[in-house]
A = this chain, B = another copy of it.
C-alpha cells in the first residue's frame, strides 16, 4: 500500500541506495540527483518504514518511560518534560505504568518491549534494597528516584535529605516548633519517605529540638486521600502540631483540605509545606509552599544520559564510561501556606 524506497527509486530513476542516501542526508549526492529523489518522495508521499530501518540498524527512535501512574500529577508532569526532552533528540516516548506492582516492574526490566525501544528511563516503586542485581540489564537504562541505589547504573535523583532538611529548617525559622510530617513509611531507611524523614530529623537536631514520634503521620500511598487521613489522625491525637510537612504535594494538599474542613487557619494556626512543586500547588488556597526538586532538570538529564549511553554503548559495556549519579538542584518555593500573607503575596 504505502510507497517504499523501491518505488521512489524507480520513479526517480536511481538506485534504491541512492534514495536511502538522500533520506539519511549522506553528503555526496549530486544536487540534481537529490532533487529528483526528493521530487519522487514528494510525489509518492513516501515515508521511511521505521520498522525496517530498526531491524537493520537496531535503533527505533523510541525510549520507554516506566512510572507508577500518570494519574499522579508528579509523574504526569515528569512524563511531560521527558517527552519534550526526548523530542529535542528526535525521540518518541513509550510510557509504561507499573502501578508500584513488583511483577509489573520486573516485566518492565526484562520485558519483551526491550526490542522496541532504544532505552529505558525507570522510576521504580516496588523494587528496593536487595534488588540491585535486577538493574544490571544489557540495554541503556537510567534510573530515577530513591527507592534503590546501585553504582552500576546511571541514576538521576534528588537531594532528598538535604531538601527535607532545608524545608524543615525553613519552618523552624518561621518559629514553628511542633512540626508534623505526613507520609512516613515506618522502618523505611532508603526511599523518599525514609530519606525525607532523615532530613527532617537532621534539621530538628541542628536546631536542638527533640524528635517527637507522635508528630509522625503515616501514609503508605502518597495521595490526597491518605494525606487527609493522616492529618485527621494527627489532629485527633494530642500531638498539637503548628506546622505540617507533607512528603509530597498531594499529601500536603490532602492535609490542607482536612485542616480547612475542621476550620483550622492556614498558615496562622498551622503552616503547611509540600514537596514536588506540582502545578496544582500553585492554585490551592492558600497557595501551597513547596520544595521544587528540579523536575525539569531530572527529565532533561535522564534523557541526555540515555542518549549518551546509546551513543557510547561500547564504552559503557567495557567499563570505560563509569555510571554516574546526578542530584538535581532543589529550591523552596515560598507561598501563602507558610507565610502569613499580605493580600498580594497570598496568591
Is A109 an interface residue, CB under 8 A from the partner? no
Q: Is the CB of A76 within 8 A of B83?
A: no
Give A115 to B116 CA distance when docked, in angstroms.
13
Q: Is the CB of B116 within 8 A of A62?
A: yes
Interface string of A31-56 (1 = CB under 8 A from B): 00000000000000001111110110
Indicate the size class of the contact surface on chain A: 35 or more
Q: Is the CB of A70 within 8 A of B71?
A: no
Is A93 an interface residue, CB under 8 A from the partner? yes
Give A337 to B280 CA distance when docked, in angstroms.
18
Is A97 an interface residue, CB under 8 A from the partner? yes
**How far does the Cβ of A35 sit from chain B's closest Cβ, in whole Å?**
21
- A83, A92, A256 — most chain B CB neighbours (10 Å): A92
Contacts of A150 in B (CB 8 A): none
In-complex Cβ contact of A114 among B47, B54, B94, B256 (8 A): B47
In-complex Cβ contact of A70 among B76, B112, B284, B285 (8 A): B76
Contacts of A92 in B (CB 8 A): 94, 96, 113, 116
Is A328 an interface residue, CB under 8 A from the partner? no
- A256, A285, A346 — most chain B CB neighbours (10 Å): A285
In-complex Cβ contact of A93 among B60, B84, B94, B261 (8 A): B94
Known: A92-B116, A95-B95. 14 other contacts (CB 8 A): A2-B115, A48-B115, A49-B115, A60-B116, A69-B80, A70-B77, A80-B97, A84-B97, A93-B95, A224-B283, A225-B283, A254-B283, A257-B285, A260-B285
